[in-house]
Amino acid sequence: MKKLITYNKSFFIAFLISLGLSFAKIAFGQSEPPAGCDASFRDITAISVLPANIPWNNLVVLEANNNGYLTYTWDFGDGSSDTGRTVIHHFPKEGQFLVTLKVYSPNIGVLTVICEDKKSQWITVGPKTGACDASFQPKIICTTSIPPICSVVGFEATQKEYLSYKWDFGDGSIDTGASVNHSFTQEGRYLVTLNVLGKECEASQSQLFTKSGPHFPNPDSTLCTAKLTHSIRGNTVEMQDEIVRMTLVYDGISIHHTWAWGDGTISNGTQKDSHAYAKPGKYLVKVTKTALFNPCYDKPNCKAMPLQLCSQQYTYEVTIGENLETLCAASIAHADSGLKVTFYNGLIIDHFRNDVIERYTWDFGDGTSGEGTKSVHYYSSPGHYKVKLTKTVLIDPCPPLPGDVQCKALPYEVCSKVYEENIYVGASLCKAHFKIDQVGNKITVTTDKASFAIGYAKLDFGDGDVIESGSSYIKATHTYTKAGSYPICFRMATVTDEVLPYVYLPYYCTDTFCDSVTIAEQNLGNQTGISDPTFFQENNVRVYPNPAQNKLAVEVKYAESDLILQVFEESGKKTIEFSGLKTGLQELDIAQLDNGLYFYTLQDKEKIVRKGKIMVSK
């Protein structure tokens, strides 16, 4: 079917008769909104029909590929111009002309132009030879998950009035028809070619498509998590989001910040921006952080609109002008290397005055203190500490003055403010631990609640039974059916090992804690185990603590001869031996043992009288 073009002496008005044009729609549960800006266009003279009184000499019919609600401006390269999606133009002579199309979206209730594009191509004006249009678009379907996973499920020719359509998908398969369904089964790059044949024309066009597996980050709200800081110089405030996402690792994900400065002005940009206020006062700044996913990042001719993964707004109050309370504004920042931590004031404000005296006092949470805007402290052991920063500001009535001016007034305090922050010092932010309550062959294990965000926890009872949870807190009862010594281990982590390769985290930690319990054959169903003193009395020997650090106690109620304690690694290699153990309590030095699970035997000159496991955790 051809296009009918009517003519009105002074200019052409393009009127479209149904071309059966269809574009790939994106299956998100509703129709795709108008496409974004795309200034590509094509010559449709060969498929257009003009009234008989319209001369064809040097006439060209052009049409923009994009049918969204856009404004179209044409420059024909011969000194003339026109507007509209479809235009016809009489060139002054035969030859080649560089035609340019500029499109942009209208300003509908927004402050800025949504998008803009401009493209140029050479148009040949001369005798019409009849050329087919072999352009085509992919048919794309995206899942409703967040983020969506999109895939090409077929292809569709732009023009559908030709005699034949032949497709070569580049993977060894072919098909015919104006609209075909096809999915690539393996990852890779494929050159898709369409050959069309009309009554008086033929054409061929190829496009390169890439199929890749899902490799998106976990798009939870942490993508939009922000930590705002600011500095003020005069009437200008500079704000920054300190959480910088390495979003380039994940194709199609982009982060946007919108800054509403509280005085009627708005700016869009990166995680850092500044603004100059016209007058002093308090202003409530609203920062909106948005994460978008573009399903068309690696798909040619894809017109799917970006999808919002998350959006979160933050408010921040700034004061411009004279306000003595703001002189005490501060924040605790720190950088740690093992047990060495460098503390400093993370908020520096230039007050542009020489009469301000600032004093900083630090309480490091372990009974020690320091002074200064920056202070280095060495902790004696890992752990959680509450750090306090006290900032005191004084005004000096006698700042340095020119000449011999005498002033004896003393500085006076105008404000003092305390800031607190809980920090963890050590190798890991995770700290796994639990306690065991035992009655007979039944135990109850209760884990500690972590002060850190934990997304995965696993409790292993040592007999094949395991409990997994999304929380660090587990309280579980377990019954053993056989006698023996069982290692109990608890592991916590920020996320599971399976998820970790696919997510971006500003931090990650994992920790494992193990203990053991012993169930005696003759005491199944009675009170037994490492936390029951009667068990050790009845069995004559007690080995503790478990887990141990640098010392191990062996308490023997009665021994007919000296005893020997041997400690083995899990591989069976003997690591240490203690001989000459007698009746009574002996304390053994195991400082040479590394952290881990060990087996031990206690024997006299004839037989092994006790076997067990110990966990070394320093």
At 20 the pLDDT is 30
The average pLDDT across 334-352 equals 73
- Is residue 587 scored above 80 in pLDDT? yes
More confident residue, 383 or 485: 485
Residue-by-residue DSSP string for 343-366 = EEES---B-S-SSEEEEEEEE-SS
201-218 per-residue burial string, b: 16 or more CB within 10 A, e: under 16:
bebebebebebeeeebbb
At 502 the pLDDT is 61
pTM for the structure as a whole: 0.26
- Within this chain, domains 324-425 and 540-618 share the same CATH topology: yes
pLDDT bucket at 11, cuts 50 / 70 / 90 = very low
**Can you tell me the distance from the alpha carbon of 217 to that of 246, in angstroms, rounded to the nearest whole number?**
11
- Is residue 427 scored above 80 in pLDDT? no
At 527 the pLDDT is 38
pLDDT bucket at 367, cuts 50 / 70 / 90 = very high
Closest CA to 305 of 150, 193, 530, 111: 150
At 335 the pLDDT is 67
pLDDT bucket at 94, cuts 50 / 70 / 90 = confident
φ and ψ at 279, to 5 degrees?
-150, 160
**Can you tell me the distance from the alpha carbon of 190 to that of 212, in angstroms, rounded to the nearest whole number?**
11
More confident residue, 296 or 202: 202
At 246 the pLDDT is 42
Query: CB neighbours (10 Å) of residue 381?
Result: 8
- Is residue 72 scored above 50 in pLDDT? yes
Fold of 324-425: Immunoglobulin-like (2.60.40)
Q: Are strands 48-49 and 3-8 parallel, antiparallel or unpaired?
A: parallel
Q: What is the pLDDT of residues 97-150, one digit of tens each?
A: 999 999 877 654 444 456 788 889 888 886 544 567 888 888 887 776 655 667
At 57 the pLDDT is 67
At 222 the pLDDT is 67
Give the range among 8-17, 188-197, 554-563 with minimum mean pLDDT. Answer: 8-17
Fold of 221-320: Immunoglobulin-like (2.60.40)
Q: What is the pLDDT of residues 137-190, one digit of tens each?
A: 888 877 766 556 677 788 999 888 888 899 998 888 899 999 999 888 777 777
Residue-by-residue DSSP string for 383-433 = EEEEEEEEEEEEE-SS---STT----PPPEEEEEEEEEEEEEESS-S----
At 203 the pLDDT is 81
Q: What is the pLDDT of residues 228-277, one digit of tens each?
A: 888 777 678 888 887 765 443 355 777 888 999 988 899 887 788 888 88
At 388 the pLDDT is 94
The average pLDDT across 301-308 equals 64
Average pLDDT of every residue of the chain: 75
- CATH number attached to the domain at 136-211: 2.60.40.10
At 66 the pLDDT is 76
488 with 460: CB under 8 angstroms? Answer: yes
At 5 the pLDDT is 43
At 106 the pLDDT is 60
- Is residue 489 scored above 60 in pLDDT? yes
pLDDT bucket at 2, cuts 50 / 70 / 90 = very low
At 75 the pLDDT is 95
The percent of residues in the chain predicted with pLDDT above 90, rounded, is 11
- CATH number attached to the domain at 3-125: 2.60.40.10
At 337 the pLDDT is 62
Which listed CATH number (2.60.40.1930, 3.30.465.10, 3.90.1150.10, 3.30.990.10) goes with 540-618?
A: 2.60.40.1930
The average pLDDT across 401-413 equals 68
Among 150-159, 198-207, 529-538, 555-564, name the most confident range. 150-159
Fold of 428-527: Immunoglobulin-like (2.60.40)
At 18 the pLDDT is 28
| Half-sphere exposure (Cβ direction) of 375: Cα atoms closer than 13 Å | 21
At 525 the pLDDT is 47
Residue extents of the structural domains in the chain: 3-125, 136-211, 221-320, 324-425, 428-527, 540-618
pLDDT bucket at 487, cuts 50 / 70 / 90 = very high
Let me know the angle formed at the C-alpha of 239 by 233 and 241, rounded to the nearest 5 degrees: 155
